[in-house]
A and B are shown apart, each in its own frame.
Chain A
Amino acid sequence: MANNYIKQLVNKQYEYGFVTAIESDTFAPGLSEDVIRRLSHIKNEPEFLLNWRLRAYRHWLTLEPPAWAHIQYPKIDYQSMIYYAAPKVKTDGPKSLDDIDPALLETYKKLGIPLHEQGRLAGVAVDAVFDSVSVATTFKSKLAEAGVLFCSFSEAVKLHPELIETYLGSVVPYKDNFFAALNSAVFSDGSFVYIPKGVRCPMELSTYFRINAANTGQFERTLIIADDHSYVSYLEGCTAPMRDENQLHAAVVELVAHDHAQIKYSTVQNWYPGDEEGRGGIFNFVTKRGACRGVHSKISWTQIETGSAITWKYPSVILQGDDSVGEFYSVALTNHRQQADTGTKMIHIGKNTRSTIISKGISAGFGQNTYRGLVRILPTATHARNYTQCDSLLIGETCGAHTFPYIETKNASAQLEHEACTSKIGEDQLFYCRQRGLSEENAVSMIVNGFCKKVLNELPMEFAVEAQKLLEVSLEGSVG
């Protein structure tokens, strides 16, 4: 085996594994109706929201955790977890950066996410979510000029309750699945975006999620609504400290695109993956779904999944509007003991709906990487089209790559194509590159990047570079 490079690379440590010493308000561990009432009360929520949470909680009690995914993990004790942790603030909520604990600002600076607007990501508006709450949202006023609403979920509940009541749970109902029900009951914060009719959002919007406190679960909820003829590109990044125990992240993301609207949602997920032996790391059990409600609407998911001990997520699109378009571009990398079971669902309902799925899985070490996807063409979806490509790249002898695509068609005019292949990094390719003078290290990274190119191309500039670096770092220490 020629992969001396991969062999010799010792583990580069997870870069974002530090803990911020910060005082926070936390609940005692455990979950009950009372905990939900207290949570709702602290957040000063309207009646409808509390009732919705309680309905979700009661439904959750009737559910069993899903067992169908190709992942293995110890049973989670939901009563030993803390459901609310928030950095202490003097006032009701930070009014400006001056109200924010300097330790927090420092944390985000360390993560490369400056909350000061003149920072590196100058063209990107950021909502920073620390443990359970949103701590800052930048560029608010500039966005307001364009009529764009971008704020924390809690703030949106206060300022725009009518939008929340209309859209919350309209794409991912609380009954959807075990983790969605749990999230609906206990979600603490998240981001909210509304793009009014005809507006092209003037800058990239971004939420940066950080888990800090120990023993807490993070349950945020993101809701993005793009009204007729609007456009928004939204980025999401995540990191967490290194801890020996697992932590649960069960988020819900709902997207709604009306007539001719477009939403582009990109994720670079770098939660702490656990150590080489598989100790610790985040359980990333996330429900993400978009509804193309309007005609000619488009929702595009792009994800680079390099972190988490376990990733369980299927960003999906419901293609209701005629001529609507759904896209899913994914790179999932599992190294050491990481497990990923990820993919998408494309539900074609409207006429001439189109979907594209490009999934690239890379497995190294003892990593297990599963693509699971559903393409469903309903009888109403005449002339629907789908193209799916899901490829796997294997590095080392102890990893696994699995592909479970479900294709269901009830319409003869639909055209579906599915392709997949699994292979290891070709020794021929390595030899060819090395004969031209490239080091083994450069050759591997070049081939991996080439393998992921179709997906990386979909990322906004600022993220593409970061994602490439992340792939290289995450591959280090894989077995040769």
Chain B
Amino acid sequence: MISTTHPVTWVQTCFAEQNTGAEQAWLSLFRKKKLHDFLQKGFPTKRDERWKYIDLSALSKTAFSAASLSEQSQRIKKFISERKLQNDNTIIFINGHCADIHMGQLPLGLIVCSLQQALLKDDMQIKSYLLTEQDHSFAALNAALLTDGVFIQADKDVVVTKPIYCIYISTEQQAFVACPNNRIVAKENSQLKLIEEYVSIDTESYFNNVHTTIHAEANASVEYYKIQNEALSANHIAHVTIYQQKQSQVKTYFFSNGATLEREDVSVIQLGDHAETRMIGFYKLGRDHQQIDHHVQINHQASHGTSTMLYKGIVDKKSKAIFNGKVWVGQKARKICAHQANHNLMLSDSAEVNAKPELEIYADDVKCAHGVTIGKINEQSLFYLQSRGIPKTQALKIVMNAFFSDMLNHIADDPIKHYIASQVNYDEPV
């Protein structure tokens, strides 16, 4: 697709800033190539079908500079200690750079390190992983300006019961761009739970361009939680790609709670038979000009796969929510059962919701269903609560709580459930 956005000059400046010459030759070459790719493509525009509803102009207007690692100040330490998720396994990123890895007792066969550490070890796996990046402009940008990321691998039969919590803090530095790249591998029969949370402390406009790739091998089980809890100064673009082998189980949870601009592209590809996928998402938009865009796709390439997609959102003020869900079933896939649902509560007349639930099916032995609803809070139920003496604002909270907690009930891990419940302000006063 041809893009009309003017080549973004800040990208070149950032690239130059970052290019210290210290890295391996192949990486340097590769990043250069990706910079070239990006400059050719530019940012997508509204003429791109996949980007038609979201306004990305802020990304080319602001001159972002390369993210630099800042001190882990007392404030940050205090901030982290106050997080309610008590956890031994915490990895801290500051402005995209890995600042600290606290890990409790690591089970044998579990690797946890930063991407840069993995690169230093000259890990062939990481090399081939980076070299097979996807071909779109944010992937090119991520590779060209690669900051850091996390590399987690659970070997065969390794079961990690406690979630690994990665917190990405954006702070202080003015107008920066960070490009983390995370790689998670769950080998055969292993189990992993991973949380990625994004927060801001005292920030001005910044841009996170995140890439995460997850491999769930045969019979592996992966739970992936993404909590976007950033300030309105944040622009957040993320691509998550998940490959599933036979009998693997993947659950993804997305909670979008802040940022002025957020785009989440999630693609799950079922490559092996009897894979199971559950994709849950919740978004809450409550500020003028906020845009949150979820593009969620499940590709059934193998047989006997099941998938459930449930996304819900509350949209208020002059904000814009976008949901695009796609179920794709290839011709060789048999006995597929896919379900997709999207429900939106609109609280304001100036808000906007754009939903596109797609089914693309090339096989006959399938059962696929989807449903979308968009509407405001049922006046009847509000009235009912009020007639029982509950003030309107509280009644509203109750109804919204019911709408939200339905999502929480899909989370099996109790500590994570409680943590998310405490972090997501679904019922901020309207």
Partner of A400, one of B356, B361, B369, B371: B361
Report if B389 contacts A (CB, 8 A).
no
State the Cβ distance, A347 to closest chain B Cβ, in Å.
Answer: 14
B374 to A416, Cβ gap below 8 A?
A: yes
Q: Which of B206-214, B237-245, B274-282, B345-353 contacts A (4 or more CB under 8 A)?
A: B345-353
Contact with B along A395-422 (1 / 0, CB 8 A): 1111111111111111111111111111
Partner of B331, one of A68, A397, A414, A416: A397
Query: What does DSSP make chain B's interface, helix, strand, loop or mixed?
Result: strand
Which of A395, A403, A414 sits near B358, CB closer than 8 Å? A403
| Chain A, 443-477, CB within 8 A of any chain B CB | none
Is the C-beta of B185 less than 8 angstroms from some C-beta in chain A?
no
Complex interface bits, B166-198 against A, C-beta within 8 A gives 1, otherwise 0: 000000000000000000000000000000000
Asked if A420 contacts B357 (CB within 8 A), the reply is yes
A412 near B348 with CB under 8 A, answer yes
Q: Are B372 and A411 in contact (CB under 8 A)?
A: no
Given the complex of chains A and B, what is the CA–CA distance between A392 and B376 in angstroms?
29
User: Are A400 and B362 also in contact (CB < 8 A) when A409-B352, A411-B349, A420-B357 are?
Assistant: yes
Asked if A401 meets B371 with Cβ closer than 8 Å, knowing A379-B350, A407-B355, the reply is no
Q: Which residues from A are CB-within-8-Å of B331?
A: 397-398, 400
Q: How far is the CB of A97 from chain B (nearest CB, A)?
A: 49
Interface flags, A367-406, vs B, CB<8A=1, else 0 = 0000000000001001000000000101111111111111
Bound-state CA distance A404–B49 (Å) is 12
A415 to B343, CA, bound (A): 11
Given contacts A412-B346, A413-B376, contact A406 B354 (CB under 8 A): yes
CB distance from B2 to the nearest CB of A (A): 12
Q: Mask for B328-366, Cβ within 8 A of A = 1, else 0? A: 000100000000000010111111111111111111111
Pick the contact of B374: A395, A404, A407, A422 (CB < 8 A): A407
Interface centre among A382, A392, A411, A413 (most CB of B within 10 A): A411
CB contact between A417 and one of B348, B359, B372, B376 (< 8 Å): that residue: B372
Which residue of the partner chain B has the closest CB to A398? B331
> Which of A397, A408, A413, A418 contacts B364 (CB under 8 A)?
A397
Nearest-Cβ distance from residue B81 to partner chain A, whole angstroms: 41
Q: Which residues on the B side are within 8 Å of A406 (C-beta)?
A: 354-356
Of A68, A379, A398, A401, which is within 8 A of B349 by CB? A379
> Cβ of B357: which chain A residues have Cβ within 8 Å of it?
403, 405, 407, 418, 420
Inter-chain contact A418/B353, CB cutoff 8 Å: no
Q: In the complex, what distance in Å separates the CA atom of A398 from the CA atom of B330?
A: 10
B347 touches A412 (CB 8 A): yes
**Would B375 and A407 count as touching, CB distance under 8 A?**
no
Q: Does A424 contact B (CB under 8 A)?
A: yes
A439 within 8 A of B: no
Contacts of A424 in B (CB 8 A): 364-366
B363 and A418 form a contact (CB under 8 A): no
On whether the beta carbons of A408 and B354 are closer than 8 Å, the reply is: yes
Q: What chain A residues lie within 8 Å of B50 (beta carbons)? A: none
B359 near A403: Cβ-Cβ < 8 Å: yes
Do A419 and B361 touch across chains, with their CB atoms under 8 A apart?
no
Q: Distance in Å from the Cβ of B71 to the closest Cβ of chain A?
A: 45
Which partner residue on chain A sits nearest B332 by CB separation?
A397
Assuming A394-B366, A421-B368, is B358 touching A405 (CB within 8 A)?
Answer: yes
| Most chain B Cβ neighbours within 10 Å, of A403, A406, A421, A422 | A422
* Interface pair A392/B349, CB less than 8 Å apart: no
Residue A8, interface by CB 8 Å:
no
Contact A410 B376, CB 8 Å, known A394-B361, A397-B364, A420-B357: no
Residues of B within 8 A of A44 (CB): none
The answer to whether B361 touches A68, judged by C-beta atoms less than 8 angstroms apart, is no
- A442 interfacial contact with B, CB 8 Å: no
In Å, the complex CA distance between A403 and B355 comes to 13
Instruction: Tell me which residues across on chain A come within 8 A of B362, comparing CB atoms.
Output: 399-400
Q: Does A13 have its Cβ within 8 Å of any Cβ on chain B?
A: no
- Sort chain A's interface into a size bin: 35 or more
Residues of A within 8 A of B49 (CB): 68
Pairwise interchain contact B369-A394, C-beta atoms closer than 8 A: no
Which residues of chain B come closer than 8 Å to A32, judged between CB atoms?
A: none
The chain A residue with its CB closest to the CB of B316 is A412
* Docked-complex contact A421 and B354, CB < 8 angstroms: no
A79 within 8 A of B: no
Bound CA–CA A410/B347 (angstroms) = 11
Chain A proximity of B402: nearest CB distance (Å): 18
Q: State whether B374 touches A409 (Cβ < 8 A).
A: yes
CB neighbours (8 Å) of A141 from chain B are none
Tell me, yes or no, whether B367 is within 8 Å of chain A by CB.
yes
Residues of B close to A397: CB separation below 8 A: 331, 363-365
Q: Which B residues are in CB contact (< 8 Å) with A400? A: 331, 360-362
Whether A422 and B349, one on each chain, are in contact in the complex, defined by CB atoms closer than 8 angstroms, is no
A394 to B367, CA, bound (A): 10
A113 to B53, CA, bound (A): 48
Cβ-closest chain B residue relative to A376? B354
Query: Does B289 count as interface, using CB distance less than 8 angstroms?
Result: no
- Asked if B417 is at the interface of the complex by the 8 Å CB criterion, the answer is no
Rounded to whole Å, the gap between the CB of B101 and the closest CB of chain A is: 44
Task: Name B349's closest neighbour in chain A (CB-CB).
Answer: A412
Q: A411-B349, A420-B369 are in contact. Are A399 and B374 (CB under 8 A)?
A: no
- Tell me if B226 is interfacial: C-beta within 8 Å of chain A: no
The reply to whether the CB of B370 lies closer than 8 angstroms to some CB of chain A is yes
Complex CA gap A407/B364 in Å reads 27
Most B CB contacts (10 A, CB to CB) among A382, A406, A407 go to A407
Report chain B residues within 8 Å CB of A420. Answer: 357, 359, 369-371
The answer to whether residues A419 and B350 also contact, given A394-B366, A404-B356 and a CB cut-off of 8 A, is: no
Contact of B373 with A by CB under 8 A? yes
Partner pick for A407 among B354, B369, B376, CB 8 A cutoff: B354
The verdict on A423 contacting chain B, using a C-beta distance below 8 Å, is: yes
Q: Cβ of A409: which chain B residues have Cβ within 8 Å of it? A: 344, 346, 352-354, 374
B324 to A, closest residue via Cβ: A406
Minimum Cβ distance to chain B for residue A34 (Å):
34
A410 and B368 in contact (CB under 8 A), knowing A392-B361, A394-B361, A415-B375? Answer: no
Set A410, A411, A419, A422: member contacting B371, Cβ < 8 A: A419
Asked whether B359 lies within 8 Å of A407 as measured between CB atoms, the reply is no
Taking a contact as CB atoms under 8 Å apart, the answer to whether A416 and B364 are in contact is no
What residues of chain A lie closer than 8 Å to B349, measured between beta carbons? 379, 382, 411-413
Q: Given the complex of chains A and B, what is the CA–CA distance between A273 and B365 in angstroms?
A: 26
Q: How far is the CB of A5 from chain B (nearest CB, A)?
A: 16
Cβ-closest chain A residue relative to B49:
A68
Contacts of A379 in B (CB 8 A): 349-350
Closest to B364 in A: A394
Q: Nearest chain B CB to A10's CB is how many angstroms away? A: 21
Closest to A377 in B: B374
A421 touches B361 (CB 8 A): no
Which residue of chain A has its CB nearest to the CB of B363? Answer: A397
A422 touches B366 (CB 8 A): yes
Most buried by B among A395, A396, A416: A416
Closest to A426 in B: B367
Q: A397-B331, A420-B359 are in contact. Are A410 and B369 (CB under 8 A)?
A: no
Residues of chain B with a CB closer than 8 A to A398's CB: 331
Chain B positions within 8 Å of A404 at CB level? 356, 358
**Is the beta-carbon distance between A423 and B376 smaller than 8 angstroms?**
no
**Residue numbers in A under 8 Å from B361 (CB-CB):** 392, 394, 400-402, 422
16 A-B pairs, CB-CB below 8 angstroms? A392-B361, A397-B365, A399-B364, A403-B357, A403-B360, A404-B358, A405-B372, A408-B352, A416-B372, A417-B371, A417-B373, A418-B355, A419-B370, A419-B371, A420-B357, A421-B369
A residues neighboring B (CB under 8 Å)? 68, 379, 382, 392, 394-424
Interface pairs A-B: 10 shortest CB-CB: A412-B346, A394-B364, A421-B369, A418-B372, A403-B359, A407-B355, A416-B374, A415-B375, A400-B362, A422-B368
Contacts A68-B49, A379-B349, A418-B357 known; 9 new A-B pairs at CB < 8 A: A405-B358, A405-B372, A412-B348, A413-B349, A416-B373, A416-B375, A418-B372, A422-B366, A424-B364
